[in-house]
Amino acid sequence: MSDSASSISDTPNNQNPQNQSSGRELWSSRMVFILAATGSAVGLGNIWKFPYITGENGGGAFVLIYLLCIASIGIPIMMAEIMLGRRGRHDPVTTMKKLARESGHSRSWGLLGWMGVIAGFLILSYYSVIAGWAMAYIPRMASGAFQGLDAAGVNSVFTTLVSNPEVLIAWHSIFLFMTMMVVARGVRGGLEKAVTYLMPLLFVLLIILILYAIDTGHFSQGLTYLFNPDFSKITTDGVLSAMGHAFFTLSLGMGAIMVYGSYLPSKTSIAQASISVAFMDTLVALMAGMIIFPIVFANSLEPSAGPGLIFKTLPLAFGHMDYGTLFGTLFFILLVFAAWTSSISLIEPAITWGMKTFQISRTKTSIIAGIFVWLMGLLTVFSFNLTSEVTITSTISTKYGEFVILKDATAFDFLDYLTSNIMLPLGGLMIAVYAGWLMKREYSREELNISSGLYTLWSFLVRFVAPLMVVIVFLNAMGVVAFVRTIMGV
Ligand code: PHE
DSSP letters of 460-472? HIIIIIHHHHHHH
Is pLDDT of 12 > 70?
no
Please report the pLDDT score of residue 258 as a whole number. Answer: 92
Report residue 325: phi and psi, to 5°. Answer: -65, -45
Mean of pLDDT values over 476-483: 67
Assign 437 a pLDDT band (cuts: 50, 70, 90): very high
- Give SS3 for 405: strand
Partner residues linked to 410 by β-bridges: none
CA of 391 to the centre of ligand 1 (A): 25
For residue 63, CA distances in Å to 178, 239, 294, 307, 342 come to: 33, 10, 16, 17, 22
Is pLDDT of 241 > 80?
no
Mutate to test the pocket of ligand 1, among 47, 52, 198, 248 (most ligand atoms within 8 A of CB): 248
Kindly state if the Cβ of 345 falls inside 6 Å of ligand 1: yes
Computed over every residue of the chain, the mean pLDDT equals: 84
Mean of pLDDT values over 351-380: 94
Give the residue, 446 or 172, on which the prediction is more confident.
172
Partner residues linked to 392 by β-bridges: 409
CA of 158 to the centre of ligand 1 (A): 24
Nearest CA to ligand 1 atom 7: 251
- Give the span between the Cα atoms of 6 and 1, in whole angstroms: 15
Kindly state if the Cβ of 410 falls inside 6 Å of ligand 1: no
Assign 490 a pLDDT band (cuts: 50, 70, 90): low
CA of 54 to the centre of ligand 1 (A): 17
Please report the pLDDT score of residue 404 as a whole number. Answer: 65
The backbone region for 171, taken as left when phi is positive above 0, alpha when psi lies in -120 to 50, beta otherwise, is: alpha
CA of 121 to the centre of ligand 1 (A): 12
CB 64 within 8 A of CB 229: yes
Mean of pLDDT values over 89-100: 89
Count CB-CB contacts under 10 A for residue 260.
28
- Give the span between the Cα atoms of 318 and 334, in whole angstroms: 15
CA of 282 to the centre of ligand 1 (A): 13
- Give SS3 for 398: strand
Kindly state if the Cβ of 66 falls inside 6 Å of ligand 1: no
Is pLDDT of 205 > 60?
yes
Is pLDDT of 327 > 50?
yes
Kindly state if the Cβ of 44 falls inside 6 Å of ligand 1: yes
State the closest ligand 1 atom to the C-alpha of 253, by its place in the atom list counted from 1. 9
Kindly state if the Cβ of 251 falls inside 6 Å of ligand 1: yes
Kindly state if the Cβ of 346 falls inside 6 Å of ligand 1: yes
Please report the pLDDT score of residue 306 as a whole number. Answer: 65
**Percent of the residues in the chain that have a pLDDT greater than 90, as a whole number:** 40
CB 46 within 8 A of CB 207: no
Kindly state if the Cβ of 252 falls inside 6 Å of ligand 1: no
Nearest CA to ligand 1 atom 11: 251
Please report the pLDDT score of residue 351 as a whole number. Answer: 92
Kindly state if the Cβ of 45 falls inside 6 Å of ligand 1: yes
Kindly state if the Cβ of 46 falls inside 6 Å of ligand 1: yes
C-alpha closest to that of 159 among 383, 312, 325, 380:
312
Assign 180 a pLDDT band (cuts: 50, 70, 90): very high
Is pLDDT of 312 > 90?
no
- Give the span between the Cα atoms of 133 and 433, in whole angstroms: 38
Mutate to test the pocket of ligand 1, among 310, 346, 421 (most ligand atoms within 8 A of CB): 346
Assign 90 a pLDDT band (cuts: 50, 70, 90): confident
Mean of pLDDT values over 98-110: 86
Q: Of the given ranges (117-131, 142-156, 364-378, 397-411), which has the lowest mean pLDDT? A: 397-411
Kindly state if the Cβ of 254 falls inside 6 Å of ligand 1: yes
Using CB atoms within 10 Å of the CB of residue 2, give its burial: 0 to 12 exposed, 13 to 18 middle, 19+ buried: exposed
Mutate to test the pocket of ligand 1, among 251, 348, 421 (most ligand atoms within 8 A of CB): 251
Domains, the chain, in order of start with CATH, read 25-389 (1.10.4160.10)
CA of 250 to the centre of ligand 1 (A): 6
- Give the span between the Cα atoms of 54 and 56, in whole angstroms: 5
